[in-house]
Amino acid sequence: MRRLIRCGWLVSMDPAVGDLRDAEILVDGDRIVAIGHDLGATAEEVLGGPRMIAMPGLVNAHLHTWQAGLRGIACEWGHGGYFRHIHADMATRYGPEDNYIGNLVGALAQLDAGVTTLLDYCHNITSQAQAERSIDALEESGIRAVFALGAGKLPPEREAAEPFERRINPRERVAAIRRDRLHSDDARVTMMLGVAGPHWASLDATRANLLLARELGLRSSSHATKRPEEAVAVDGYRTLITEGLVGADHNIVHGNYLDDAELRALLDAGVSTTATCQTELRGYAEEPIVRRVCEMGFVPSIGVDVEPRVSGEMFREMQCALLAAQHGQRRADAAAGGARPGIAPIGSRQALAWATIGGAEAIGLGSRIGSLAPGKRADIVLLREDDLNLWPVHDPVLAIVEYAHAGNVDTVLVDGVLRKRDGRLLVPEARLTALRERLQASARRIMEEAGFTHQPA
């Protein structure tokens, strides 16, 4: 199907296309075929209008989507609460249908908020059926997704016998999903391997997981969250770099406690980085790595991480990441005895790149998504510029990064398929009502089984 999209502002994030005023985008099937002024193209459908801002779909580069039913319960937990209540308890009580409903509602919420691509780091998987139902949900939602299959959260009695620091992703399960379900790297839903990494696992276990990923042609991602002295394998990332086991096919998440030398070594090896600033500012003593990654000449990516603790909106994550980076730069300048005059040290266009181009590159999809250009997949978002919180728009990049929120999202296309139009997801209301009820029932059962009662603030 050919669609012609009209907009008052176009922010392409592609240097060859640039930002355009009163532009048009021609979509044929799943691809963008032309961008410009007055294209004179014929199309079966015309979308948008002169008061729309067209932008690339946002890329949420790290989300534990299965946790959608637990939104808001962990915002005020103290240190260790998330791992104690969710990882060690609630996560172990999820079955296949709990994962399905969490992933489906979570992915639909991302689409509703302008996210067209999601890395779903699904690390509570303990069975083939649970993995399959998680994938079912991503496919059904219509979002573009990378399913990062993790090794699972085990009940305490099993954890004692199979400690996390020695756990290897089950080869049979990983291979079966790769072979039978997610064998194509060109599909809308693709696969990565979620591995514990040396902060959380022994080098032998990490080596086995990374070799499994490479054997099956999968990218991998690990959490780098611990202070050096607390890591299971001290200097583990440096060892893996020397052995050639992490490179452009690996992604690290967080990294707040990595020193400059280790971070530089990872970046030089081709490893991508993902910061989750809302979460990290609540739980880590060191600043998010976005500023340092930029100073080293690389583009980071950003993601939401854990909805039990923070908002799932990528607009909010983008704003938070920018503020964290700017504040970190101000502190660094002050410590050096000076300040940079004039403009802000890190700008809004950079933050938008973290949420689009950076995310696409981090998950291996940079050639397909992350910017609007002929030949790229038609993952496009339209914002209403005449919404009162945006109007008048003098600079579309500042409007997107500094002022926009999910409520401004009018239209969403993924692979050229309409997923949201006129401000509403294209899912029947009766279906959404049923999904809401099912998610709530799942979350209630899980919390009751865990003996957890949320105390209102």
| Closest to 193 in 3D by CA, of 176, 205, 181, 210 | 210
pLDDT by residue (tens digit) across 402-416?
999 999 999 999 999
Using the 8-state DSSP alphabet, how is residue 57 labeled?
P
Structure tokens at 63: 């989300």
CATH 2.30.40.10 residue ranges in the chain? 2-56+372-423
Task: Please name the helix (run of DSSP H) or strand (run of DSSP E) that holds residue 120, with its range, or none.
Answer: strand 115-122
Average pLDDT, integer, range 420-429: 98
Whether the pLDDT of residue 457 is over 60: the answer is yes
Whether the pLDDT of residue 344 is over 80: the answer is no
Give the mean pLDDT of the chain.
95
**pLDDT score for 312:** 97
Average pLDDT, integer, range 168-188: 96
Label residue 123 by pLDDT band (50, 70, 90).
very high
Structure tokens at 284: 């880590």
CATH 3.20.20.140 residue ranges in the chain? 59-362
Residue 56 makes CB contacts below 8 A (sequence gap 6+) with 11, 12, 13, 116, 356, 369, 370, 371, 372, 379, 380, 381
Whether the pLDDT of residue 116 is over 60: the answer is yes
**Residue 61 — φ and ψ, nearest 5°?**
-85, 5
Whether the pLDDT of residue 54 is over 60: the answer is yes
Whether the pLDDT of residue 273 is over 60: the answer is yes
Structure tokens at 376: 């790229």
| Closest to 446 in 3D by CA, of 34, 17, 86, 59 | 86
Residue 76: strand, helix, or coil: coil
**pLDDT score for 339:** 64
> Whats the size of the chain, residue-wise?
457
- E-only strand ranges, 295-423: 301-302, 380-384, 409-414, 417-421
| Closest to 55 in 3D by CA, of 425, 393, 428 | 393
Please tell me the distance from the alpha carbon of residue 129 to that of residue 139, in angstroms, as a whole number. Answer: 15
**What is the distance of C-alpha 229 from the center of its chain?**
29
Please tell me the distance from the alpha carbon of residue 152 to that of residue 196, in angstroms, as a whole number. Answer: 10
Q: Are 396 and 50 in contact (CB under 8 A)?
A: no
CATH code: domain 59-362 is: 3.20.20.140
Q: What share of the chain is helix, strand, coil (3-state, %, to 5)?
A: 40, 20, 40
Residue 52 makes CB contacts below 8 A (sequence gap 6+) with 6, 7, 8, 9, 382, 383, 384, 385, 410, 411
**pLDDT score for 163:** 78
Cis peptide leading into residue 392 (ω within 30°): yes
Residue 132: strand, helix, or coil: helix
pLDDT by residue (tens digit) across 64-103?
999 999 999 999 998 888 989 998 899 999 999 999 999 9
Residue 401 Cα distances to 11, 16, 206, angstroms: 12, 21, 37
Please tell me the distance from the alpha carbon of residue 316 to that of residue 320, in angstroms, as a whole number. Answer: 6
| Residue predicted with more confidence, 264 or 341 | 264
Please tell me the distance from the alpha carbon of residue 206 to that of residue 92, in angstroms, as a whole number. Answer: 22
CATH code: domain 2-56+372-423 is: 2.30.40.10
Whether the pLDDT of residue 342 is over 80: the answer is no
**Residue 145 — φ and ψ, nearest 5°?**
-145, 150
Dmax (CA) of the chain: 67
